[in-house]
Amino acid sequence: MEKAPLAAPIVGPERQLAELTFKAMVLGALLSMILAAANAYIGLLVGLTVSASIPAAALSMGVLRLFRRSTILENNMVQTSASAGESLVAGIIFTIPALVMMKAWSGYEYGPMVAIAILGGVLGVAFTIPLRRALIVEARLKFPEGVATAEVLKSGGIETDKTKTVTGKAAENGTSAGVKTLLFSAGLGGTFKLLESAGGVLSGGVSTIKSLVAGKYLFMGDITLSPALIGVGYIVGLNIAVLVFIGGVIGTLIGVPLNWWLNSSAIMTAVGIAPDTPWQTLSTENWQALAVQSWQNCRRIGVGAMIVGGLWALISLAKPLMQGVKASISAYRESKSGNENHIARTEFDTPIHYVLIVVFIAIFPLLYIFYQALEGYEGREMIAAIMTVLMLVFGFVFSSVAGYMAGLVGSSNNPISGVTIATVIISALILLQLMGNQGMAATLGPIAVIFLAGMICSAAAISGDNMQDLKCGHILGATPWRQQMMQVIGVLAAAIVIPSVLNILDLGYGIGRQSPINPDATPLSAPQAGLMRDLSTGIFGAGIEWNFIFIGFVLAVLLIVLDKVQEKRGSEFRFPVLAVAVGIYLPLGLSVPIFAGGLIAHVIKTKNKQETDSIQKKREGKGLLIASGLITGEALMGVIIAIAAVAWQGAFPLLKGFGMSGLLGFVTLLAIAAYLYRKTLSAN
């Protein structure tokens, strides 16, 4: 791989600017909590998460401008802490809801969740420390989001002191404009969600189910009306957006009618209708139930594709895995032989012996948590010890992979889901051999697997995102050990709020199930957590319905072949399996606005090619801020409405059955999409 040229940091190692300040720590912790809540909502809704570093950087610059003094390094500390919270929640929502779905927990238990999040997150930070120099300084990987965040922070100037002019007025105006753009777009997303979920003035989606050709063709289609999903599509880009949409088409527009045509009798039996019932006598409600059942069957195609995609991700990461582990070992040896007194400020990591102490201390709470999870199983001491070893080994290996892949493809495209699927399968097979699947083992085995997966997924998610932050810090001239300390602060802050956020979302909307107090609400899909439940319980003998899963296996192999062909051709358009698999698993309606957002990003990117580099960067930054604002605003309003729904026992929406809500929602969403397009292109 061709190495990018090294450049001197913005703040040289000889300079001492305010960095790890009290206000930076407080603001970083608060933003970590807020962005964790927002990412929890959007991740559970659509199964995709996006990096929050850029909106965190913009908000940090806006808030720190209110103080008399602030520096670019303080801003970097804040976004580091904030993005740690955003990435930690991804590790939790991809795994832990499986415990509630499998009825191991009745709700989201605060103590165990905090412990899982803290241990996984802190170990993820620890595992990235020896990787920083190896991957950022030596390998010089791209880390695209880290570079983009550094560009945003540079726009605010190096240092602000209101007693004297240090940064120019242009930088201050640029910072103010960026914050205003972010807040305004967040207001748009939040207002849409308020009018939709709480008011009922706007519809959250439009859908139709039709039986055509005398019932032989069963059509099911829908569009989710969501500014946040347009923002997600814009950020992930056209390639991923198209693949998610293709998955939706396969699962719904093709799969539902084809499944009905081939298996109508079985589908009728599954919903409680006698197979010999004449189709012309079926009511609208009957057809709706039949369409939903047909779609539920087709979702398993996505499960099969995700299984193969996860294993393929692990196989294809064999080379990065070895490079990441070698880099870690090399960095460890270098740190032991080096003299810390002669290390430049901008290269001073947390000393490796502190890292080893943290890992050693973590052994004891890990043992306790796994021991408690296996309560009632004879011989749980040995199983808890083995699980602790698995956590440390897999956690280190997969954190190395995630850190390396973040440098290649970025945090938003990092295959964390694939790593977690591989973790669940491997750990479940190991525990099955050790515990068997008789008696208590059949119940406790899957629970133990999800506990382990939650920690490993959290560590891997933190590792990838934090390497982006360390790259940003390397460009700016941050002190690495201080940045690593802020990563821990972000993990701790997010960990204490994540369980409450998930509990509120589960009560207000339902996570992978109907809300216990608000049955009219549309549940959040939580696709990865549903897959983790199916895999862990299936391996331990609860059974998996394989027919549709086998179809998913075949589809995944075809996609892998297509992807390799595209790679050989040098094409930018690729076919990652997991994007298509998630699209199949999710309702079609969610993929439509994601596709629209990706299309808008592509059109703007095409138009940008005709402009200067300066204008291109401005437009890229503005588009990211608007898209991030739409996501954050809608997601936070979704959490607020869930809190209100819990307090008022599901009283929303206020206007139920409002006839114009669908049309108004569609028109409003088009207006917001037009705003994203026109406002981005107006940046000059």
Q: 229 or 59, which is more confident? A: 229
Which of 45-59, 307-321, 465-479 holds the top average pLDDT?
465-479
Which of 350-354, 580-584, 645-649 holds the top average pLDDT?
580-584
CA distance readout (Å), 515 to 37, 42, 572, 646: 18, 17, 42, 10
Which residue is associated with the tokens 């629209």? Answer: 596
Instruction: Confirm if 153 and 17 have CB atoms less than 8 A apart.
Output: no
pLDDT at 320: 59
Confidence class for position 170, pLDDT limits 50, 70, 90: very low
HSE of 354 in the Cβ direction (CA atoms, 13 Å)? 11
Q: 621 or 389, which is more confident? A: 389
Confidence class for position 210, pLDDT limits 50, 70, 90: confident
pLDDT at 23: 93
Residues 32, 573: Cα–Cα separation, whole Å: 34
Residues 377, 359: Cα–Cα separation, whole Å: 27
Checking if the pLDDT of 640 tops 60, the result is yes
pLDDT at 139: 66
CA distance readout (Å), 214 to 154, 209, 255: 64, 14, 19
Confidence class for position 12, pLDDT limits 50, 70, 90: confident
Checking if the pLDDT of 405 tops 80, the result is no
Quote the percentage of the chain above a pLDDT of 70: 90
pLDDT at 50: 74
CA 459 to chain centre: 13
Average pLDDT across the chain, whole number: 86
Confidence class for position 412, pLDDT limits 50, 70, 90: low
pLDDT digits (tens, 9 = 90+) for 358-380: 999 999 999 999 999 998 888 89
pLDDT at 1: 40
Q: Give percent helix, percent strand, percent coil of the chain, each to the nearest 5.
A: 75, 5, 25
CA 522 to chain centre: 20
pLDDT digits (tens, 9 = 90+) for 512-540: 888 888 777 888 988 888 888 888 888 88
pLDDT digits (tens, 9 = 90+) for 43-93: 898 877 777 788 888 888 888 888 888 899 999 999 999 989 888 998 999
CA distance readout (Å), 491 to 29, 114, 167, 257, 479: 9, 10, 32, 46, 19
Contact partners, residue 313, CB within 8 Å, separation at least 6? 415, 418, 419, 421, 422, 577, 578
Confidence class for position 511, pLDDT limits 50, 70, 90: very high
Contact partners, residue 375, CB within 8 Å, separation at least 6? 444
Question: How much is the average pLDDT of 281-307?
Answer: 88
Residues 115, 309: Cα–Cα separation, whole Å: 30
pLDDT digits (tens, 9 = 90+) for 95-146: 999 999 999 999 999 999 999 999 999 999 998 888 787 778 776 677 878 8
Confidence class for position 290, pLDDT limits 50, 70, 90: very high
Q: 245 or 235, which is more confident? A: 245
Q: Per the structure block, which two tokens stand in for 555?
A: 């589809």
Where helices occur in 104-168 by DSSP H, the ranges are 110-132, 144-154
Confidence class for position 438, pLDDT limits 50, 70, 90: confident
Residues 528, 585: Cα–Cα separation, whole Å: 9
pLDDT at 174: 55
Per DSSP, 2 falls in state P
pLDDT at 562: 95
Residues 654, 660: Cα–Cα separation, whole Å: 14
Lowest mean pLDDT among 604-608, 613-617, 647-651: 647-651
pLDDT at 2: 47
